[in-house]
Structure 1
């Protein structure tokens, strides 16, 4: 299978290596020069994508990341790229396009459960931008598109989680958080190429939503810091992700909870 990966950060590079090891021909495209031998890399701005001298691609993974976390950059990254990518691939025998989105498309903020059948809705401008991007990519690719909505990415000794735990001064809310280990994101994206009938979308999150203050205190305990006291009757915020399609897909998570990922 000839695979095109649009976006070549940590996730794209790891995915390229796994797909190559499985015998697929892989080409990556990103804005900056990279040495990915034996993976073929093309340095291009995806807004002006040209694929005239490449193999004919069967599968496409769209793993884009905005350079800044604001609506303008989300628009440029996820919406403004849809048409040029579609046009560049018109002569290719595309079987499947995998588009990486986010659970930010769900604006739930009172601790309730979200599953694969929950309709995306958000009052958050970035969440709304991602919903619009999903709709636009779906309009172009229709039943060839599979959307992957990931929760927060992490890995062992995550700098973000370390700073969150060490910098927190007090607990003010019961905030639910969800996450997926980067290795499982890459593993599941690779596994998708083996599934005969893909769903139109998958939530990708581990099996244990956790209150943020519990995670903070676990990391503080690990690092020899005093745990933060938890007041009673705190407001409950955030959402809890139930990734049913992931669990029924046949893929086994390497890190089904944060405790199995070396956070403790």
Structure 2
């Protein structure tokens, strides 16, 4: 189920004239591409697939080979891009890989790209920029305070983009789940998952299809704001979520254990994203995970 924009948030009056560049052709990127109908769509990735086009709602995709960490591979990018989505993920979780993708990558890309017609860029970031808030609510006005270096790098990337005098929107995503993202279910089935039980550790989730819908919605939103939180409606204590899923799986309840490192306990408020006109297909991760379990 795709997001439905509100009447007050019109898309471009002539979608056939749109020239969209999507940087990152992974799972999330391709889900975004399938929602960007109309106009011309290019997808930049290091190793494009052998097939020349992607069939589906997005129509034909024009693949571009390029590596944002290597500016020599970014020559000859299409001119007159009107919408830009930056949805890359590092190959590894180390600081060098993060700097390549989020510090060097945007600089190299924007140096090589004609931005004279750009109406909106969406930069996909992470809730890791916030750190720990002892289970309290956070929103776009909450000052960032990353706990780890990866969150710090993402925040630096956001800040640099905000200084470029371009129409940039950062979407700070919660933990994604969905088809192909079922590691948690496998750990619960195997009885190796752990959940903190002595004190509530709040977790935030977003279905990958809702995340893709949010990105496609924001990149076409005429009055998009600089920052949005991407999460579902229902933050949950980690043990509540894990116990519920274990029950659906017929697996034993997970034992007490430490919370995930470097994530922090917080409840993400998605009111700004919802007010922009986005409707979530999966407002509660318990229902979203249940659909995955049924499908499997």
Q: Which runs of 4+ in 1 moved over 6 A?
A: none
In the superposition, relative to structure 1, how do residues 224 and 91 fare at CA in structure 2: closer, same or farther (>3 Å)? closer
Q: Which of 94, 115, 131 is the matching residue for 1:70?
A: 94
Q: Distance in 1 between matches of 2:78 and 2:139?
A: 39
The answer on whether the counterparts of 1:116 and 1:244 sit within 8 Å (CA) in structure 2 is: no
Query: Matched residue of 2:216: which SS?
Result: helix
- The C-alpha deviation readout for 1:1-41, integer Å capped at 9, x for no partner, is 0000001101111211221xx31210000011213332100
Matches within 5 A, 1:90-239: 90=114, 92-140=116-164, 142-155=165-178, 158-165=181-188, 166-168=191-193, 171-172=196-197, 173-228=199-254, 238-239=265-266
The answer to whether the Cα contact below 8 Å between 2:203 and 2:235 also exists between their aligned partners in 1 is: yes
1:192: how far off? 2.1
* Change in 2 beyond 3 A, CA 1:143/1:12: same
| Unpaired segments ≥5 residues, structure 1 | 232-236
Distance in 2 (CA, whole Å) between partners of 1:206 and 1:161 is: 18
Quick one: distance in 2 between partners of 1:158 and 1:221? Answer: 19
Cα offsets for 1:71-126 (capped at 9, x unmatched): 12111110011221111113642121110000000012411111111121223221
Structure 1 CA distance for aligned equivalents of residues 166 and 194 of structure 2: 48
Q: Which residue of 2 aligns with 1:257?
A: 284
Report the TM-score when normalising by structure 1.
0.89
1:83 aligned partner: 107
Q: How many Å separate the matches in 1 of 2:237 and 2:229?
A: 19
Contact 1:27 1:40 in 2 (8 A): yes
Displacement of 1:149: 0.4
Q: Judging changes above 3 Å, is the alpha-carbon distance between structure 1 residues 23 and 202 closer, same or farther for their aligned structure 2 residues?
A: same
Task: State the distance in 1 between where 2:289 and 2:101 align.
Answer: 33
Instruction: Could you tell me which runs of 5 or more consecutive residues in structure 2 were left unpaired when the two chains were aligned.
Output: 1-17, 55-59, 258-263, 292-296
For 1:12, the equivalent position in structure 2 comes to 29
Q: Shift in Å at residue 164 of structure 1?
A: 3.8
Report the CA distance shift for 1:50/1:254 in structure 2 as closer, same or farther (over 3 A): same
Between 1 and 2, higher relative CO (CA 8 Å, sep ≥ 6) is seen in: 2
> In 2, are the aligned partners of 1:82 and 1:136 still within 8 Å (CA)?
no
2:267 is the counterpart of 1:240: yes
Q: Distance in 1 between matches of 2:145 and 2:182?
A: 30
Which shows bigger deviation, 24-33 or 83-92?
Answer: 83-92
- Over residues 105-158 of structure 1, what are the superposed CA-to-partner deviations in whole Å (9 max), with x where a residue is unaligned? 001241111111112122322111111111112222x35111000000111574
Task: Note if contact 2:81-2:115 (Cα within 8 Å) is conserved in structure 1.
Answer: no
Tell me the C-alpha RMSD between the 2 structures. 2.1
Verify the 8 A CA contact 1:66 1:74 in the aligned structure 2: yes
